[in-house]
Each structure stands twice: as structure tokens, then as C-alpha cells.
């Protein structure tokens, strides 16, 4: 059984979707969720779904090896960032090379980089009158949103769409594609 660890910072709808998808799998399982936010809704979801979850602070994450040691113990085959907003430390990436992926709610390299997350992305897409947007699943490297792209899916943005409408379209794409892409990566 392959082991997946998820990092999330907020609501955790992607984390929940992944947990549920792999509850029906005999190939892989989400063994743990880690969050930088002790009040994140993702922790309630984990409780409900009976999935192990832990929160950590910045010192534990990037100024010491505490989070790295948690990962050394849980031995993930894949680390999935699902709405995780802190930059991933290089010393952790070095130990899990090509095994850390992220989902981004836009068609990278557009609308990536520091500060580009969640509604900020969709607001920018609408402000720039884009006619399409989408999701990107990519490997994580030491720069925000710059690792090699694994998968993209697109949706239309119509002139009447608000940022909230765009968010709903992106959510749909994420729910549909993310688990399948994770499964492909983790069992190949």
C-alpha cells in the first residue's frame, strides 16, 4: 500500500476529496494530514473522516527538523500540497526529491508566485478578462509554483463570470482530476 501525506492550510475540500477517493483504494491511502493552521477547517474534516492530522508552527517546519522527522517516521511515497500556503523548505524537498506535488488554481506559469492563491488568483483572472483558466498540478521545487508541470485542465471564463463563478469552475476541475492524477503518480 502506497502512503500519501497531505499538507493543507485552510478549508481542505481537496484533502477531503483525496481522503475519500483513497478510502476505496487497495493501492494507496492518505495516512496523515499536516497543517500550519491549528484552526483550519481541514482538521474538522480529518476528525470526521478518522484521518490522522497534526498542526505545526513555523519553527517546527522550517527552522528545525521537527516536521521532517514526522515525515521520516510516516515515510510517504508522495507528499501532496492541497491548498498549502507556506513555502516548502528546501531541506525537506531534498529528502523527498520528485515526491512533492502541488495543485494550483490557474494555468501556470500564469497567475503563479507569492501572494497568488485562492481568490486572489480568480480575482486577477477576471480583472484581466481572461477567456480561459484552469488548474495545474506540478512538482514542487524551491520557487513558488515553478516546478515541472504534470497535468493541466482548462475551463472557459465567460464575460459575465465573477471571481466566485470562476472559483466554482476551478473547484469542479480540482474535484474531478486531482485524485486521479495523484493515483497515477503514486502507483506508477
Write out the catalytic residue numbers: 104
Residue span binding ligand GAR (CB under 6 A) among the ranges 13-21, 46-54, 68-76, 93-101: 13-21
| Cβ at position 120, least distance to ligand GAR in Å | 8
Nearer to ligand GAR, 65 or 141 (CB): 141
Which of 85, 176, 161, 79 minimizes the C-alpha distance to 126? 161
Instruction: Report in angstroms how near the CB of residue 102 gets to ligand GAR at its nearest.
Output: 7
In the complex with ligand GAR, which residue's Cβ is closer, 62 or 133? 133
Instruction: Write out the DSSP string of 59-126.
Output: IIIIISSHHHHHHHHH--SEEEESS--SPPPHHHHHHTTT-EEEEESS-TTTT-STT--THHHHHHHH
Binding of ligand GAR by 82 (CB under 6 A): yes
Interface pick for ligand GAR out of 61, 117, 147, 186 (rule CB under 6 A): 117
Q: Is-contact 107 133, C-beta < 8 A?
A: yes
Cα separation values, 118 from 30, 82, 83, 123, 165, Å? 23, 11, 8, 9, 13
Q: Which of 4, 103, 140, 182 binds ligand GAR (CB under 6 A)?
A: 103
Compute the 3-state secondary structure of the chain and give helix, strand, coil in percent, each to the nearest 5: 40, 25, 35
Choices 18-26, 27-35, 51-59, 100-108 (CB under 6 A): range interacting with ligand GAR: 100-108
Footprint on residues 142-161 left by ligand GAR (CB under 6 A): none
Give the footprint of ligand GAR on this chain (CB under 6 A): 8, 10-15, 82-83, 103-105, 117-118, 121, 170, 174
Amino acid at each position: 500500500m502506497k502512503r500519501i501525506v497531505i499538507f493543507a492550510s485552510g478549508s481542505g475540500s481537496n484533502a477531503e476529496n483525496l481522503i475519500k477517493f483513497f478510502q476505496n483504494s487497495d493501492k494507496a491511502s492518505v495516512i496523515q494530514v499536516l497543517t500550519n493552521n491549528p484552526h483550519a477547517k481541514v482538521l474538522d474534516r480529518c476528525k470526521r473522516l478518522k484521518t490522522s492530522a497534526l498542526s505545526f508552527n513555523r519553527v517546527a517546519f522550517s527552522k528545525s527538523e521537527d516536521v521532517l522527522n514526522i515525515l521520516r517516521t510516516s515515510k510517504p511515497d508522495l507528499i501532496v500540497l492541497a491548498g498549502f500556503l507556506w513555502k516548502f523548505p528546501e531541506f525537506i524537498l531534498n529528502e523527498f526529491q520528485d515526491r512533492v506535488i502541488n495543485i494550483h488554481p490557474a494555468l501556470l506559469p500564469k497567475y503563479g508566485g507569492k501572494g497568488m492563491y485562492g481568490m486572489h488568483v480568480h480575482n486577477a483572472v477576471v480583472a484581466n478578462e481572461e477567456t480561459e483558466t484552469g488548474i495545474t498540478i506540478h512538482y514542487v521545487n524551491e520557487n513558488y509554483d515553478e516546478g515541472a508541470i504534470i497535468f493541466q485542465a482548462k475551463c472557459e471564463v465567460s464575460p459575465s463570470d465573477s471571481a466566485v463563478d470562476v472559483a466554482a469552475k476551478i473547484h469542479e476541475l480540482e474535484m474531478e482530476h486531482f485524485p486521479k492524477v495523484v493515483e497515477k503518480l503514486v502507483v506508477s
